Amino acid sequence: MDMARFKDWLSTVPSKFTRKTCKSGIKFEEFHQKPIESLFQEKDFKRKVDGIASQNTRNDRPRARDFLRGTLQRVRCILYGSGPLDVLGITLIAALGSMPNSLRRKFRLADRLVGSCGNWMVARVVMRVFGVKYKLSDIESPKIILPQFESWMWNYLKPQEGEVFVDVGAHVGKYTCMIAKMMCQKGFVIAVEPHPANFSALVESVKMNHVNNVWVLNIAAYSVDRKLPMFVGDMSGHHSLVTDMGCGTIQITARRLDDVILDRVDRVDWVKIDVEGAELEVLKGMTEVLQRYRPSLIIELWKRNETDVVLLLSNAGYKVWTINEEPDSDSKHIFARKSRLESTDLIDRHLSIQAQRFPLKA
Higher pLDDT pick, 116 / 34: 116
Residue at which a domain ends, from 94, 118, 147 = 147
Whether residue 96 is found in the same domain as residue 237:
no
Residue 53, domain member (yes or no): no
Q: Per the domain annotation, does 1 fall within a domain? A: no
Query: Is 67 within the bounds of a domain?
Result: yes
Q: Does one domain contain both 106 and 211?
A: no
Q: Are residues 137 and 225 in the same domain?
A: no
The answer on pLDDT for 20 being more than 50 is no
175 and 284 belong to one structural domain: yes
The number of folded domains in the chain is: 2
Domain limits for position 128: 62-147
Specify the pTM: 0.75
* Residues with Cβ within 8 Å of residue 199, at least 6 apart in sequence: 193, 216, 218
Chosen domain end from 147, 162, 195: 147
Mean pLDDT over each residue of the chain, to the nearest integer: 78
Q: Are residues 107 and 185 part of one domain?
A: no
pLDDT in tens, 61-89: 455 666 666 666 667 788 788 888 888 88
Same structural domain, 198 and 319: yes
* pLDDT tens column, 188-228: 999 999 999 999 999 999 999 999 999 999 999 999 999 99
Between β-strands 226-231 and 220-221, what pairing exists: parallel, antiparallel or unpaired?
unpaired
Residues 314 and 165 in one domain: yes
Residue 191 within a domain: yes
183: CATH: 3.40.50.150
Regarding whether 243 and 308 lie in a shared domain, the answer is yes
163 & 132 share domain? no
Q: Is 188 inside any structural domain?
A: yes
Same domain? For 159 and 134 the reply is no
Does residue 332 lie within any of the structural domains? yes
Q: What pLDDT does 193 receive?
A: 97
Note the pLDDT tens digit of each residue in 284-327: 999 999 999 999 999 999 988 999 999 999 999 999 998 876 66
In a domain, 4, yes or no: no
